[in-house]
Amino acid sequence: MSQLSARVRAYLKSLAHGLAPLVQVGAEGVTPAVGRAASVALEQHELIKIRLGQAYEGERDDAAKELAELTGASLVQVIGRIVVLYRRRSKDDPKRARIVLPTPGGKSPSSLA
């Protein structure tokens, strides 16, 4: 799990805005099965939303940190009962483009094309 710069975090938040949650945490909390499901989703999508269901009674921030650690992802945002995680795909997939993060030099991904 790596720390994201404010610029990268803001960019990922903008990308995540229109996404639907792919994984849900239930009353049992963050289980190994939830971690595996989130990890698979991250490998496919790189940026995912996870919903903390109404039955989940734990602390949101604790669940978000645990999910990030369990999946090896970076925590982008916790907003309400939604956790946003990012992890770069381990293998190239010709069917899916990778997310191109902003560079430290101030170039945005859209200006790099």
Q: Give pLDDT, residue 3.
A: 84
Are 25 and 60 a contacting pair, CB within 8 Å?
A: no
| DSSP class per residue in the chain | --PPPHHHHHHHHHHHTTPPP-EEE-TT-S-HHHHHHHHHHHHHHSEEEEEE-TT--S-HHHHHHHHHHHHTPEEEEEETTEEEEE---SS-BTTBPPP-PPPTTS--HHHH-
Given pLDDT bands bounded at 50, 70 and 90, which one contains residue 113? very low
Summarize pLDDT for 19-68 with one digit per residue, the tens: 999 999 999 999 999 999 999 999 999 999 999 999 999 999 999 999 99
Could you tell me the CATH superfamily of domain 6-87?
YhbY-like (3.30.110.60)
- CA separation for the pair 91, 65 (Å, rounded): 25
